[in-house]
Amino acid sequence: MITIREAQSACGTTSSPSKMPGKAIGTPASKCITGSKLRNVPGSVCEGCYAFLHAYTWPVVQNAYMNRWDKVMQSKDNPDPWIQGMVRLTQNEEYFRWDDSGDLQGNWHFANIVEVAKRTPNTHHWLPTREYRMVEEYQGDIPTNLVVRESAHMVDAPPPITKFNTSTVVTDGSETCPSLKQGNSCGDCRTCWNPEVKNVSYKKHK
């Protein structure tokens, strides 16, 4: 088994979002393929993206995100080091979130994440994404411990029509995510990681 230091060298470091029950990893929001276009669309979920605000703008944070993105892109042609590294970084986590900033970079990126989930069966993985085609074109089996949620592009829009789980953003008070009522924390809620919950709705951030 590789060491944590070797894993971080291959993948970058994970983060520990205060809201989450476990660790996460992400890439710069500026590298989002679909999200970077939606950021300029009024009424989209990506308009006013949180990953361009506050602590996300600090140079040390952006450098960490860019390093992770570099490692992801290197894994396109040589996936084994990245996969082994992410297995090492997630295997002892009960819950793990992919892309707290950023999104999938290609079909190969999704395939690599699927492989990490297969090798870490005791970890609950959650992957929100706007890259519908990248996940829908995947031909292999997806393990039950990986919950993929296709995220609606527009605020107050219905969830995408898909075989995968979904998420939406609402303004009418119908949100199912309780975090804003409990100090912006998941607390005991694990709905996003629950494959039995077809759609999770979040309240639009002001």
> How confident is the model over 26-71, as pLDDT tens digits?
999 999 999 999 999 999 999 988 767 766 777 888 899 999 999 9
**How distant is the alpha carbon of residue 66 from its chain centre?**
16
Q: Which residue has the tokens 């975090």?
A: 179
Is residue 24 in a domain? Answer: yes
Q: Is residue 161 part of a domain?
A: no
Tally helices (H) and strands (E) across the chain.
Answer: 6, 6
Q: Sign of torsion, CA 7 11 16 21?
A: negative
Q: How many domains does the chain have?
A: 1
Identify the domain containing residue 109 by its residue range.
Answer: 4-156
The answer to whether residue 195 sits within a structural domain is no
Would residue 169 count as lying in a domain? no
Residue 181 lies in a domain: no
Taking the C-alpha atoms of residue 42 and residue 134, their distance in angstroms, rounded to an integer, is 25
Percent of all residues in the chain with a pLDDT value above 70, rounded to a whole number: 98
How far is the C-alpha of 106 from the C-alpha of 108, rounded, in Å? 5
